[in-house]
Structure 1
Amino acid sequence: MRVLYAGNGPLALKILSWLSDQPIQLAGLVIHPEDRGLNAEELVRQSCLPDDAVFQGDRMRDPETTSRIGALKPDLLLSIHFGYILPDIILDLPPQGCVNLHPGYLPYTRGTYPNVWSIVDDTPAGVTLHYMDRGIDTGDLIARREVEILPTDTGHSLYDRLQKAEFELFLDTWPQLLGGQPPRSPQNTEEGSQHRKRDVDRIDCIDLDDTYRAGDLIDILRARTFPPYKGAYFLHEGRRIYLRLELAEEDSDEPEENGQ
């Protein structure tokens, strides 16, 4: 089986490394530009592909690029945390389809920042392997797995657990992908939720003159705690003051402090 691999970030690198021991032929690699992604150089090195089989994600609509990819004749496209929308000509290319690994429990949290919105919207968190279609994370489901949201979770800690669950789900489902006949079931696109980056920008600005339910404010602050990245903030004299939330569960063996 010839695989076209579109990936970005440490999970994509981890899965690509694991695939090197599998009975497939890596036909091509699509990465993010260096200034818009993570682990691009490591992905190229791991792929061991020649330069003419490595493509930039921001050039996927270029006719020359699509022609070169078509000449590779991939049987399957794997998308792992790949942030660019694929054109129809690429989606229609592999006979076994295009499969995406998404850090959200579809149909909930389609789109960006699923770790954030599972906390803010109080919707199920999890991971999903699904076919790609013309929509954003709307394709048929192959497999999914729910991940518990802990009361001490931040956006960072939940994201870390989601990545671990994604890797495990991919490994568990891989034999079916390799066999060419994984299960598929349509999503109910009238259910669930979808978010874009501008939705996060909207909740990041904490209005000091607004009224928030305590639980809602805590959920925004913890969901947007992802050091070293900046998240929620309030304005003071025209300058942003950024906020992070630290959560710790009570230790049952810890003695109570009197007078404090």
Structure 2
Amino acid sequence: MRIVLAGAVTSTQATLNQLIKHKMDLVGVLGYEPKSLKNVSAYTLLKPIAEEESIPYKGFFNINDPDVVDQIKEWKPDLLFVVGLSQLVKDEIMNIPTKGVVGFHPTNLPRGRGRAPIAWSILNEKKGGANFFLIDSGVDSGPILGQKLFDIEEDDYAEDFELKMLDAISEALEEWFPKLKNGKIEYIEQEHSKATYYGRRAPNDGCINWSQTSKDIYKLIRASSRPHPGAFTFKEDVKIIIWKARIENNSNFAGVIGRVLEVDEDGVALVQTGEGLLSLIDYEIFDLSNNRLNKKLKVGQKLGYYSDIEIFKMKQELEKLKKY
């Protein structure tokens, strides 16, 4: 089986490591090389690994560009692995491998098909998974070639999910690759009647609404945390990105929603939510120019923007401008 691998994140690297470990016939690596890493979570440059193992490598920005298509044709793969790449592979590439194109998705398929699987899984699911499947015309709907599931614990953050996913990739490929190396391609059809789908998430979807329950806000923080851009809130002219938090069930504090009620010597801030209390353990504060400030939250500060107050402030500023 002549294999080509395409991608550029930690799941791609984990797959590459297993391909090398099992001495698969890896004839080429395509590494996504973005113009900016700002919106690419868990990016990994595959070129050094490919060069160290003397595997032909080609970088790309758009996998469907003619020069990339020509390179894939030249490598003549039986299987093309597309792992950790959000770009849609067009038919011209899909028709090149003689045995098909293999995709990857980290949910409990057929549940959780679609976009932003890590964040949505932490928000809504109890299990994640490492799934390798044959890509078809649907969304993550092709027959499963290898699958390993794992539990999502109530305190797992995105980085915890990712570590479990990487272990699951190794376990799934340890089971599947020996069969594949012997020329066997066995698969199991998904139960399409049980399929669920998730839509795209953007960085701004991490904005915290303090009127929600502490449980829901805690989920959002865990789902948005590293390697994602982070859940965030505001305080006047600063933005606060919250990486880690803790639900407080035994505190005797109560206060106004969004208000900081207590700050300890380490800067851990206790905040009132719409229902329950939340301690902000790890957070960063940035000014309007996105410069990180060496500050901690203070007791009495109120987090978030409130439309009535902000509109009144804008009216006051507008009235001042009219006088000039």
Q: TM-score, normalised by structure 1?
A: 0.80
Relative contact order higher in (CA < 8 Å, ≥ 6 apart): 1
| CA–CA separation in structure 1 for the residues paired with 2:200 and 2:111 | 13
Q: Residue 12 of structure 1: CA displacement?
A: 2.7
More strand by share: 2
For 2:26, the equivalent position in structure 1 comes to 26
2:123–2:220 CA contact under 8 A, matched in 1: yes
Q: In the TM superposition, what whole-angstrom CA distance separates every residue of 1:82-135 from its partner, at most 9, and x where no partner exists?
A: 333211111122121111232222122323432221121235322211111234
Asked whether the 8 Å contact 1:29–1:47 carries over to 2, the reply is no
Which residue in 1 is equivalent to 2:199? 195
- In structure 2, how many angstroms separate the alpha carbons of the residues matched to 1:189 and 1:64? 40
Report if aligned partners of 1:108, 1:124 keep a CA contact under 8 Å in 2.
no
Q: CA deviation at 1:138?
A: 2.3
Is the 8 Å Cα contact of residues 128 and 149 (structure 2) preserved in structure 1? yes
Gaps of 5+ in 1: 249-260
Q: Which residue of 1 aligns with 2:236?
A: 237
Q: CA deviation at 1:21?
A: 4.8
Change (3 A) 1:162 1:55: same
1:124 maps to what in 2? 127
Structure of greater Rg: 2
Matching of residues 222-233 of structure 1 within 5 Å: 222-226=222-226, 230-233=229-232
Paired with 1:146 and 1:22, the residues of 2 have a C-alpha distance of 22
Alignment deviations for residues 14-73 of structure 1 (CA, whole Å, 9 cap, x no partner) = 4323323545432221111064442233233245134xx5241x2322223313321321
Residue 252 of structure 1: aligned partner: none
> In the alignment, which of 108, 112, 116 is matched to residue 113 of structure 1?
116
Contact 2:83 2:103 in 1 (8 A): yes
Instruction: Quote the offset at 1:205 in angstroms.
Output: 0.7
In the alignment, which residue of structure 1 is the partner of 2:50? 44
Counterpart of 2:143 in structure 1 is 140
C-alpha distance in structure 2 between counterparts of 1:189 and 1:7, whole Å: 30
Post-superposition CA distance 1:195-250 (Å, at most 9, x none): 3133x632x01134xx31332222112222226x53111122243211122459xx
Match of 2:188 in 1: 184
1:120-178 CA distances to partner (integer Å, 9 max, x unpaired)?
12353222111112343222222323211112211211221111111111111112333
User: One-letter code of the match for 1:8?
Assistant: A
- Where 1:244 maps in the other structure, the secondary structure is strand
Q: Does 1:151 align with 2:157?
A: no
The 3-state SS of whatever aligns with 1:170 is helix
Question: Percent of aligned pairs with the same residue?
Answer: 23
Any idea what SS the aligned residue of 2:107 has? coil
> Which residue in 1 is equivalent to 2:306?
none
Give the aligned CA root-mean-square deviation in angstroms: 2.8
Q: How does 1:207-226 map to 2 (within 5 A)?
A: 207-208=209-210, 211-226=211-226
- Per the alignment, residue 4 of structure 1 pairs with 4
Partner Cα separation in structure 2 for residue 16 and residue 222 of structure 1: 28
What secondary structure sits across from 2:51 in the alignment? helix
Q: Which amino acid aligns with 2:16?
A: L
Are residues 1:62 and 2:65 paired? Answer: yes
Q: Which runs of 5+ in 2 are unaligned?
A: 38-42, 248-324
Q: Secondary structure at the match of 1:196?
A: coil
Mapped partners of 1:29, 1:216: distance in 2? 41
SS of corresponding position for 1:230: coil
Q: Any idea what SS the aligned residue of 1:197 has?
A: coil
